[in-house]
Chains A and B, each alone.
Chain A
Amino acid sequence: MIKLKMFDESRISKSMLSLTGILFALYIITGLLDSYNFSIPAIGNIFYLGAALGLLAAGQTICMLTGGIDLSLAMIATGAAFIVSVKSSSGLLVALSLALLYCVVIGAINGLAVGLLGMNPLIMTLGMNAVLIGVFTVGVTTFLQGSSTVPEALVTLSTASIIDTSGWVFESATADPRSWPFFASIVDTLSWPFFIWLLVSLIVLFILARTGLGRLIYAIGDNAQSARLAGVKVWQVQVTTYVMCAILGGIGGIILGGQSGAVALSLANSFLLPSVAAVVIGGTSIMGGIGGYKGTMMGTLILTLLSSLLTTINSSEAVKQMIYGAIVLALAWTYAKISEKS
């Protein structure tokens, strides 16, 4: 195995520190605007809402570490959720298998086109996105016709608390959650989507940091040419990368579908750009080779908190858009400054 210098440790820890600072500052501001945001249920909600974005961004991170990108990720996520819902009449296991198959096939096509045919990932996945929109638009009236209500079990896995608290703590559920008992609030806040996100995150972090595949992902993102000359079958790594990305997107899509209760064909569309933004804010280079999923997780939480902040503010949409843009630009600038110094 070739020794590869994966990343500059000091820079990563420095940027993680500043990301934590930004996250904390945003949290304080959000809380000062509405004290409800300091409550435990509100904090739990950030993780509840961050789960789907975090999973999509996990896929995007892996792609971007190889120097690629997956712009078909939103339609992969939506498609997986749609297939699971429509096909659930033939059994949950069948439906989930079909969705997995869908993710693997689309991911493999993306990966093969990028890896073997040498297509630009940006254009390939953008084209794939257009094709998938077309396929599903036709599919709704033909081979995917049926109710897109998400099966009960998956709704529970995407929304419910791990420990069912409904019976024993909240008799007066109309009361302000800030008055709920502390312990009960904590238990209630530990939701399944958060748990699933955490579990998948650990796997992704392990793969990237501790396996040969992880090292190869960094290697080809750093310099595909020299990796190839060193004997790495670059296309195989890329196919694996895009398949993994699609599966992560699919899991995120199903959670998003479960939180909606039913699947619309535009389900994950508005998550595509945030999934890229979370990765970039987290410090992964769009040129590949530098970064990691820890930063993306912070980026996800920052974006989710930012969305909560904008919801809290009572101002016109135009002002909210300006604030959002300004903060994202400020984040990018801060990151560039930090990278420059080190």
Chain B
Amino acid sequence: MKLSSKRIKAGLAVASSISLVLGASLIAAPAQAAGTYKIGVSNSWAGNSWRETMVCAIKAQAALSGKVASVTVLSRNTDAAGQSADIRTLKTQGVNAIIVNSGDPAANNAAIAEAVAAGIKVIAVDNAITAPNTTLVSNDQVAYGRVGAEALFKAMGSKGNVLYMRGASGAGADTDRDTGFKEALAKYPKIKVTKEVFTNWDWATGGTLASQLLVPGKFQGVWTSGIDYNVVTAMTTKLKGKYIPVFGSDNNEFQRLTASLAPKGFVGIVVPNPAIIGGYAAQVAIDLLDGKTVPAKNLLTPKALTYKTDKAAITANYVPSQEATFSATLSLPGITTFTPAQLFRCKAPQDSDDGSR
């Protein structure tokens, strides 16, 4: 591969201009709107369906409140250094509150402390952070692991072998879910975890593992940390359609399969891990800016849904217009106020000149 430096330079120039254009398109230009609060969002994982929905929920809730002038989103795949830079950028832009979904529990603490010192309200969403004087809004991951495991063990008739498919080793949510799972396991002496694997929350990895491990007779149930529907798909071939119970999340396709395969004997256990928790975080940010007292920890406690007992909810949750991994929980009663249409529109206050309010 012989390349002149001129060509490499040209390549670099095009690549950097591409990344500039991409970067610029992710920063929404603040403009005047009805409210006065400016909210900043720092998200460390772009292009992920769950995170995109979370961001849209923040925008939708902020737009509906009438109190927010702008939502500035800095969303990209980055490490702690990059995310700290994003948090500092938001501070420079003069936002009043920052909602951060942090890629690391402690690595952004310095940047967050600077923001807190400047009087900015910092709300950690989804992933907890250790920085002081911040507010957490999250799904209760310990309960998520426990509630799902209990429902799964019941569906298995309180006995048999479990395939335990965890998320990413060392991630906060994975550790918490494992704690909950083990709590439930202790109550069921005849349930055995005969295989424990990590999907790294990657669909292809989870699918490969399911194809390798699902052998007739080997397992009586599967606990998955959100990589769910392709495990069910693998059973069609690998178990010749003799489905065993699977605990999964509120992924659109998993809920569809839970309903459509129920007549074939499939028991799907849906425990929502709603992405629209972003809307909750936005509401907490607004409450804090209004001067209201908000607890330091705000956790959503999940509930297990099965087709047998919650047929209507599961059928209603499936959204045919959305892709497979869409986090199909459309409202948090008593917390979020947006309609599904407003959520899908994904408009921040500064760009809601389409009459959505």
**Which residues from chain A sit less than 8 Å from chain B, CB to CB?**
36, 41, 45, 48-49, 67, 82, 86, 113, 117-120, 123-124, 126-127, 130-131, 133-134, 136-137, 140-141, 145-149, 155, 159-160, 166, 170, 173-177, 224-225, 256, 259-271, 287-288, 307-308, 311, 314, 316-318
Contact = CB atoms under 8 A, between A and B. Distances in A.
Contacts of A308: 212
Given A126-B15, A261-B229, A267-B204, A174 B216 contact: yes
B236 interface: yes
B346 A141 contact: yes
Contacts of B47: 133-134, 136-137, 265-266
A244 B292 CA distance: 61
B230 A259 contact: yes
Contacts of A147: 252, 320-324
Contacts of A317: 169, 198
Given A49-B212, A141-B346, A174-B217, A118 B202 contact: no
B191 interface: no
Interface stretch (B3-11, B92-100, B101-109, B331-339): B3-11
Contacts, number: 169
Nearest to B197: A311
A271 B237 contact: no
B169 A318 contact: yes
A45 B212 contact: yes
A124 B202 CA distance: 26
Q: Shortest 10 CB-CB distances between A and B: which pairs? A: A261-B233, A262-B324, A173-B240, A260-B230, A148-B323, A123-B11, A262-B253, A317-B169, A127-B15, A119-B11
Nearest to A138: B25
Given A131-B22, A159-B236, A146 B323 contact: yes
Interface size band for B:
35 or more
B211 interface: yes
21 contacts: A118-B10, A123-B15, A124-B14, A127-B18, A148-B253, A166-B240, A173-B240, A173-B242, A175-B216, A176-B217, A224-B2, A259-B233, A261-B229, A262-B229, A262-B323, A265-B47, A266-B202, A270-B205, A308-B212, A317-B169, A317-B198
B207 A311 contact: no
Q: Which of A159, A176, A264, A317 has the most CB of B within 10 A?
A: A264
Contact of B233 (A48, A155, A175, A224): A155
Contacts of A263: 323-324
The main secondary structure of chain B at its interface with chain A is helix
B208 interface: yes
A166 to B, nearest CB: 6
B346 A256 contact: no
A266 B19 CA distance: 20
A26 to B, nearest CB: 14
A287 B52 contact: no
B325 interface: yes
A118 B7 contact: yes
A148 B252 CA distance: 10
B198 A269 contact: no
Nearest to B205: A270
Given A130-B19, A262-B230, A287-B1, A173 B202 contact: no
Nearest to A180: B216
Q: Which of A131, A174, A287 has the most CB of B within 10 A?
A: A174
Contact of B325 (A67, A265, A307): A265
B294 interface: no
B204 A269 contact: yes
B172 interface: no
A41 B213 CA distance: 12
A114 to B, nearest CB: 9
Nearest to B319: A147
Nearest to B320: A147
A75 to B, nearest CB: 10
Contacts of A316: 169
B239 A173 contact: yes
B209 interface: yes
B163 to A, nearest CB: 11
A314 B193 CA distance: 12
A261 B230 contact: yes
Q: Which of A137, A166, A260 has the most CB of B within 10 A?
A: A260
Contacts of A173: 216, 239-242
Contacts of B253: 148-149, 261-262
A268 B322 contact: no
B65 to A, nearest CB: 22
Given A127-B14, A149-B256, A173-B240, A264 B325 contact: yes
Given A127-B15, A176-B217, 9 more contacts: A117-B10, A118-B10, A134-B47, A136-B47, A174-B242, A266-B203, A270-B202, A307-B212, A308-B212
Contact of A311 (B4, B213, B257): B213
B313 interface: no
Contacts of B198: 317
B49 interface: yes
B64 to A, nearest CB: 18
A137 B215 CA distance: 36
Interface string B191-231: 00001111000111101110111011100000000000110
Q: Which of A45, A137, A261 has the most CB of B within 10 A?
A: A261
B237 A145 contact: no
Contacts of B234: 259
Contacts of B209: 311
A179 to B, nearest CB: 9
B14 A119 contact: yes
B232 interface: yes
Interface string B238-281: 01111000000000110011000000000000000000000000
B46 interface: yes
A146 B253 CA distance: 12
B316 interface: no
A240 to B, nearest CB: 19
Contact of B212 (A113, A133, A311): A311
Nearest to B207: A260
